[in-house]
Structure 1
Amino acid sequence: MNADKTTESGDKHENIIEENVAMPRPSKLGLVLVTGGSRGIGRATSILLARRGYDVAINYKSRAKEAESIIHEIKTNNNNDDDENAGHVMTFQADISNEEEVISLYDSIYTKFGRYPTGLVNNAGILGTRNADITSMTTADLEQVFAVNVYGPFYCTREFVRRWKIMNGNRQQQQQRGSIVNVSSGSAHIGNPLFYAMSKGALNSFMAGLSKTLPADHNIRMNAIAPGVTKTDIVTDEMADKVMPLIPMKRVGEPEEIAEGIVFLISDGSSYCSGANVRMAGGRP
């Protein structure tokens, strides 16, 4: 990322905007950053947001081709690159577990879109070790999971609020409502896999606390969604078969189903909803 870092005071705001002469026309619905947006639930969410008319900044760590293919898929399905109903979509590489890369990510989004996100989906996450023997668990394994699943959402959310404050004096931004959605998991309540469950429990507490302490005049809501077992590359066929008898609906979820819940929480349709943790698990507690 080569964009100049934008400080909280906004000193470089004007310089960045002047360097970009061909900004996409802003969506009236806003611009949403989706972390880990190249596959699984993140991919389904990015596609649905764009089809609903949101501009979307898709973050990925290493799967550039998968991220870029989303843009092609959206254009193909719309059958018209200039379709007025579809949002603009761009991809951005960054490791969200790295604080400096998250700062550069937001700078790059501003450089490309000419504004900061009005929505954030903290979706990126890793499963980590499935080892259940605590005597052989390592600190390195724990830190790896927390770096992505906890520190990453913290960095992204903190920068979201910082940039929101920078833009607060802008009339266009004042007309927008901010929304943050943490993608959690039922594992936080079930407790398995242990490190993953611990990280999602921390993510839930982060949402519960921050949703109560964000100043009301910021006009930012924060919620979480807790999917059950969903068809993603994290879930093996063996895992799905094992848990299916425990699901009242007797099937695992589709990424597109979870995306519907996320987009609802991002949208003004949930404008009086903040601090909620929505369970989407086919009836499983």
Structure 2
Amino acid sequence: MENEKRILVTGASGGIGFAITKAVLEAGYSVVAHYNSHAEKLKELAETFSDKIQLMQFNLTDRKNCREVLEKDISENGAYYGVVLSSGICKDTAFPAMTEDYWDKVIDVNLNGFYNVLQPIVMPMCRKRKGRIITIASVSGIIGNRGQVNYSASKGGLIAASKALAVELASRNITVNSVAPGLIETEMIKDAPLDMILPSIPMKRVGKPEEVAATVLFLLSDGAAYITRQVISVNGGLA
């Protein structure tokens, strides 16, 4: 794998993460595709891009394991050029009925994962004095959604953390931006009441994972070198 443009994509086996991984590979980058489970689609992708993809399995909520795996990879292959944090889960329910488990798991994956993944790998990126960090947030982190207090809190925190990190890394020529999808056609919305939600979306449709991936691809490009500390919404006009 070419080290100069290696991109780490977390949650690469998910709907949006897979679309990002595929788009980045097709654009000619080398990809380290992280997954925790459900690697079947990634293995199929690896057959097509065998010289450009490296599959990496770890639990991003396990801080020690996360650090060990990432530091080992960096030691062997060099710092990443880009990181796309695409891992995320939701456990929706009204706040009065929300259990501690629902709260803790969403915060642990969506927000603590930011620290667990980025903290071990940012300094090597700083030494190279160039790079791209993109976090996949959500419209929920911007406007807040009913039944998603935990998810909205995690994604809102992710946006704030990304903005703060952007300020710290700007002098190192590393950009940090968030992409905030709205309703996207993935497993995450399979139980969503679309008939009630679609009227509130000006474009009257759900988005495609490939539309999120295209935005990420632009932010990874040389043309986005002066864009940092931004939240780019991909939501059909929802917010």
TM-score range, shorter chain: over 0.9
- 2:62 equivalent in structure 1: 98
Q: Is the contact between residue 120 and residue 160 of structure 1 (CA under 8 Å) also seen in structure 2? A: no
Unaligned runs of 5+ in 1: 1-23, 76-80, 82-86
| C-alpha distance in 2 between matches for 1:152 and 1:238 | 25
Residue 95 of structure 1, CA deviation: 0.8
Distance 1:52 1:65, change over 3 A: same
- 2:200 equivalent in structure 1: 246
Among candidates 76, 84, 94, match of residue 121 of structure 1: 84
Among candidates 93, 107, 111, match of residue 71 of structure 2: 107
- 2:141 equivalent in structure 1: 188
Residue 27 of structure 1, CA deviation: 5.8
Residue 215 of structure 1, CA deviation: 5.5
| C-alpha distance in 2 between matches for 1:238 and 1:162 | 40
- 1:207 to 2:162 alignment: yes
- 2:44 equivalent in structure 1: 69
How many pairs does the alignment contain? 237
| C-alpha distance in 1 between matches for 2:138 and 2:213 | 14
Distance 1:198 1:154, change over 3 A: same
Distance 1:103 1:133, change over 3 A: closer
Distance 1:68 1:272, change over 3 A: same
Equivalent pairs: percent with the same residue? 30
- 2:21 equivalent in structure 1: 46
| C-alpha distance in 1 between matches for 2:108 and 2:191 | 27
Residue 38 of structure 1, CA deviation: 1.1
| C-alpha distance in 1 between matches for 2:25 and 2:82 | 13
| C-alpha distance in 1 between matches for 2:141 and 2:93 | 16
Residue 237 of structure 1, CA deviation: 5.5
Residue 234 of structure 1, CA deviation: 0.5
* Structure exhibiting the larger radius of gyration computed from Cα positions: 1
- 1:140 equivalent in structure 2: 101
| C-alpha distance in 1 between matches for 2:44 and 2:155 | 29
Quote the RMSD (CA, aligned, Å). Answer: 1.8
TM-score (structure 2 length as normaliser) = 0.92
Say which SS state the counterpart of residue 121 (structure 1) adopts.
strand
Say which SS state the counterpart of residue 7 (structure 2) adopts.
strand
Say which SS state the counterpart of residue 214 (structure 1) adopts.
helix
Instruction: List, as ranges, runs of 4+ consecutive aligned residues in structure 1 with deviation greater than 4 Å.
Output: none
Distance 1:283 1:70, change over 3 A: same
Q: Read off the aligned partner of 1:101 and give its amino acid letter.
A: N
| C-alpha distance in 2 between matches for 1:64 and 1:236 | 20
TM-score (structure 1 length as normaliser) = 0.78
Unaligned runs of 5+ in 2: none
Say which SS state the counterpart of residue 179 (structure 2) adopts.
strand
| C-alpha distance in 1 between matches for 2:72 and 2:199 | 46
Say which SS state the counterpart of residue 74 (structure 2) adopts.
helix
| C-alpha distance in 1 between matches for 2:72 and 2:52 | 15
Residue 111 of structure 1, CA deviation: 6.0
| C-alpha distance in 1 between matches for 2:78 and 2:38 | 25
- 1:275 equivalent in structure 2: 229
Q: How does 1:80-99 map to 2 (within 5 A)?
A: 88-99=52-63
Q: Is the contact between residue 95 and residue 149 of structure 2 (CA under 8 Å) also seen in structure 1? A: no
Residue 140 of structure 1, CA deviation: 2.6
| C-alpha distance in 1 between matches for 2:190 and 2:10 | 22
Q: How does 1:249-264 map to 2 (within 5 A)?
A: 249-264=203-218
